Structure 1
Amino acid sequence: MTQSPAAPKRSTPLPQAGPPPLPPPKERRRLRAAKSLSQAEIAAKVGVSRETVRSWESGRSTPRGRRRAAYAELLAEIANELTLAGKRSTRRNSWTEDLPPALDTKGGKSPARIPVGAAMNGHPRPEPAVSAVSGASGASGASGVAGVAAGPTGAAAAQAADPQAEPSGPAAPATPAEAFDALCSTCAPGLVRQTYLLTGRRTLAQESVERAFQLAWQRWPEVAVDRDPESWVRAAAYEYAMSPWHRLRPALRQPDAPPAAPDDRAFLDVLMSLPPAQRRTLLLYDGVGLDLPETAAETEASTPATANRLLHARELVAKKLPEQAATPDALHQRLGELCGAEKLRPPNPGRVRTGSEQRARFWTRAAIAFTALIVGATALTLRTAPTHYEPPRAPGKAISGVPPRMGPGSLTYQDQILHKKLSDALPNGPERLTPLAR
């Protein structure tokens, strides 16, 4: 007796994992820059145009469907490769950590560098070495090129000041206004000095930082959850300060008064002679202390392009001011000394919030008024427009077979001469009717 073959069991399909989550726009730029890929290369791998990748990295648009899945998988692959290769280091402010060999000075490893962002704002230094750009506000110190994130406030600050004290209870969460004021108070002084080094104008530097913080307050739900709010505000301040439209403003046509010290004046002239892209790269890397991938991500350029800009900027500074390239830290310290010599007023947090709200109300009312004007013009057009079709009048044409109109016609030239002669020769009286005999 033969046994019938058993029916094959129907296997239950395993649930397939979806595409990896898409990182935020800033992380997308950072991953691409860390991998030394251009936007065109990313676009070729995903199958889109370069402008589409630029929109994805700036946050203006979000990929969908298969493009989103391909883009997310590519970014996840890049992140895994960077993690395995050990390139995602959390140490930010080294001199040659992420530089190619061509950027190393004297063929060897440069000594560790104190971050300007920490040293020039009075925060604890990672090393006890003394720098010319110390955070103390004394004669040799400047108060900062770069700001830092807001520190603890309230009960947390009291606990940090007195470790022996027992905590009184869970600290109340800070309100949005308090968190914004803390960020503005901490980062604004450094950002004003950075922007001054970027533009060479004191008024424009203060205005740029104030506008950047106003924009941050308008988009505070987005800025508050950002991993680095200071970088968000710094990028906004830099973009506003480097706008080419400022050259059309009458108030900015005349240059500002140069620094009092001759060395500072010469160094500032060299900085202003650099192209804007190279000047921004030099300031971010040698002044603020960002590493090369972060500098490339913030300037929206590839890592090799950023390295080339940095090389050319250093070469130009070394050519015009040879003493600035004597040691690896000379340029770093010189930037801090130059910005610390200027007395720049940072914006007031309360005034920034008030100005941001007033600006938002003004543009909202302007948009409402413009919309009302458009609606009124449309209504007037609909009211005065014709409601039915009026055919145009046909042009006239000659008709044959109609007899000419009879009656006295116009006088000829001879008749006019005779009429004038009779009118002049015959006076009033009987002579007009009875001719005189001659």
Structure 2
Amino acid sequence: MTRSPATPLPSPEERRRLRESRSLTQAQLAKRIGVSRETVRAWESGRGTPRGRKREAYAKLLTATPAPAPAGRPGRSGRPRRSERPGRPFEHPDLPDLPDLLDSLDHPGRSERPEPAPAPSGRVGGDPSALTPAQAFDALYAFCAPALVRQAYLLSGRRGLARESVERAFQLAWDRWPEVARDRDPAGWVRAAAHEWALSPWHRLRPRHRRPEPPPSEPAERELLDVLLLLPPPYRRTLVLHDGVGLDLPEIAAETEASTRAAVSRLLHAHEIVADRLPELSDPRVLHERLTELASCEHLRSAEPPEVRDGSERRARFWTRAVVAFTVALIGVTAFTLVTAPTRYDPPPLPGETVQGVPPQMAPGPLSERKRELRSKLRKELQHGPQRLAPQPR
């Protein structure tokens, strides 16, 4: 039995260029093939490769004749409902998908795309080259923050920590905004930072985190949250990313900085523990629905984008002033040391010793009669010296 050769595919960079030349977004291409948007992003970044019929359909769409560009972006009426979008739980129901302007901030001068109509102030849309950094950041925050707060709540079980994790992640993103804006997946960048902050083991040392958090009101949701908190942090994060966010295992491995085999092992052990504690959640679909209900039961609100940006700038100013003050103090201490330091070495005085009895007389005193005679005798014999004895032969 012979196996048919796989359909050849272009390089990851060429895949993205071909998709953009046909005026297709990642979401539109994923819908035509029947996969999630994250899977298409993994194919274009080189982290994954399609196989089987999906590979043939993907290659056919890339090599097909480009269709005429549409007159503008479709309105919200043409979008699928929240329940019809696979792999996109924990989203805000009133927000549209993240537009391609955030994915294409590193290509503002693209001529293949049609020029969209100007969007009203405060709405997500418009030409990416006309957006200021603050507007692009606000668009990313408005799209990701509500979902990330719910995910952080599932990871930590604390409402205040969930909001703090999201704010801290976006403050870090605003500090590194040129890097985040040109990233292939800015939403994934912020999500990874928020999850790491929510699962940090140092929070247990904070006084306010030593007190237990009020549990959810529903018994079923309380049981599910207790089971999630019993899982080790890596298992819990893998479970939320796979059954909650809808990421594939290679993407989870890349985001958690682990191998695909480790991600598979963590997911299997997490499913075993959850099914052992709650047998009705052995079905992945039921688990997905219960995770969505648990994430949506709490009325978790995120801060406004200007408040997050101001907090990031205040933190940056504080640390800048702290570093400047420390540097000035170090220079002052160094200068004072150089001015007051001695230029030669003075040995310390030796410690005194205890003397027993009367010390011997060291200085010469008056000579006695005998010493005077001895002195005169020595003076006379200095020239000739005493008589010497010479040996005589026998």
Report the TM range for the smaller structure's normalisation: 0.5 to 0.7
Give the whole-Å Cα distance in 1 for the aligned partners of 2:85 and 2:173. 35
CA contact (8 A) 1:324 1:331 kept: yes
SS at match of 1:226: coil
- Aligned partner (choices 301, 305, 309) of residue 258 of structure 2: 301
Instruction: Kindly provide the amino acid, as one letter, of the partner of residue 98 in structure 2.
Output: A
Do residues 149 (structure 1) and 106 (structure 2) align? no
User: Structure 1: which 5+ residue stretches go unaligned?
Assistant: 1-22, 24-77, 92-121, 138-142, 162-168, 406-438
Do residues 402 (structure 1) and 358 (structure 2) align? no
CA 1:215–1:171 in 2, change beyond 3 Å: closer, same or farther? closer
Do residues 385 (structure 1) and 345 (structure 2) align? no
1:239 Cα offset (Å): 1.2
Give the whole-Å Cα distance in 1 for the aligned partners of 2:363 and 2:351. 22
Do residues 269 (structure 1) and 218 (structure 2) align? no
CA contact (8 A) 1:277 1:309 kept: yes
CA 1:170–1:281 in 2, change beyond 3 Å: closer, same or farther? closer
CA contact (8 A) 2:90 2:244 kept: no
1:317-356 correspondence runs (5 A): 317-325=274-282, 327-356=283-312
1:104-143 correspondence runs (5 A): 124=80, 128=84
CA contact (8 A) 2:249 2:263 kept: yes
Residue deviations 1:334-369 (CA, integer Å, cap 9, x gap): 111110111001121000111100100000000111
Give the whole-Å Cα distance in 1 for the aligned partners of 2:83 and 2:300. 28
1:38-117 correspondence runs (5 A): none
Give the whole-Å Cα distance in 1 for the aligned partners of 2:149 and 2:222. 18
Residue deviations 1:135-180 (CA, integer Å, cap 9, x gap): 685xxxxx89xx953466993557xx9xxxxxxx978610000000
Residue deviations 1:307-335 (CA, integer Å, cap 9, x gap): 0000000011111111111x331111111
CA 1:130–1:224 in 2, change beyond 3 Å: closer, same or farther? closer
Residue deviations 1:215-264 (CA, integer Å, cap 9, x gap): 10000000000000011111111111111111011111112111111111
Instruction: Kindly provide the amino acid, as one letter, of the partner of residue 238 in structure 1.
Output: H
CA contact (8 A) 1:191 1:234 kept: yes
Give the whole-Å Cα distance in 1 for the aligned partners of 2:344 and 2:90. 82
Question: Residue in 2 aligned with 1:372?
Answer: 328
Do residues 174 (structure 1) and 131 (structure 2) align? yes
Q: CA RMSD in A?
A: 4.0
CA contact (8 A) 1:133 1:337 kept: no
Do residues 257 (structure 1) and 257 (structure 2) align? no
Give the whole-Å Cα distance in 1 for the aligned partners of 2:253 and 2:54. 14
Instruction: Kindly provide the amino acid, as one letter, of the partner of residue 371 in structure 1.
Output: T
Number of aligned residues = 283
1:15-34 correspondence runs (5 A): none
Question: Residue in 2 aligned with 1:426?
Answer: none
CA 1:357–1:87 in 2, change beyond 3 Å: closer, same or farther? farther
1:380 Cα offset (Å): 1.4
Instruction: Kindly provide the amino acid, as one letter, of the partner of residue 319 in structure 2.
Output: W
CA 1:123–1:255 in 2, change beyond 3 Å: closer, same or farther? farther
Higher RCO structure, 1 or 2 (CA under 8 Å, sep 6+): 1
CA 1:241–1:130 in 2, change beyond 3 Å: closer, same or farther? closer
CA 1:371–1:171 in 2, change beyond 3 Å: closer, same or farther? closer
1:123 Cα offset (Å): 6.0
CA 1:88–1:251 in 2, change beyond 3 Å: closer, same or farther? farther
TM-score, with length taken from structure 2: 0.63
Do residues 218 (structure 1) and 180 (structure 2) align? no
User: Structure 2: which 5+ residue stretches go unaligned?
Assistant: 1-12, 14-44, 58-77, 103-115, 366-394
SS at match of 1:260: coil
CA contact (8 A) 2:91 2:147 kept: no
CA contact (8 A) 1:149 1:229 kept: no
Percent identity (aligned): 56
CA 1:249–1:311 in 2, change beyond 3 Å: closer, same or farther? same
CA contact (8 A) 2:163 2:301 kept: yes
Give the whole-Å Cα distance in 1 for the aligned partners of 2:91 and 2:350. 89
CA 1:79–1:201 in 2, change beyond 3 Å: closer, same or farther? closer
